[in-house]
Amino acid sequence: MPPREYHFWVYILSNRSHILYIGVTNNLRTRVEQHREKPPGTHTARYQIGRLVYYEFYKYVRSALIREKELKHWTRAQKIALIESVNPTWEELLIN
Whole-angstrom distance, CA of residue 44 vs CA of residue 13: 9
pLDDT tens digits along 51-93 = 999 999 999 999 999 999 999 999 999 999 999 999 999 999 9
**Candidates 3.40.720.10, 1.10.275.10, 3.40.50.1220, 3.40.1440.10; correct CATH number of 8-86?**
3.40.1440.10
* Domain extents in the chain: 8-86
> What is the DSSP secondary structure assignment for residue 4, as one 8-state letter?
P
Sign of the torsion formed by the C-alpha atoms of 76, 78, 79 and 80: positive
Strand partners of residue 22: 12
What pTM was computed for the model?
A: 0.93
Whole-angstrom distance, CA of residue 93 vs CA of residue 35: 15
Whole-number mean pLDDT of the chain?
95
End-to-end CA distance of the chain: 32
| pLDDT value, residue 4 | 79
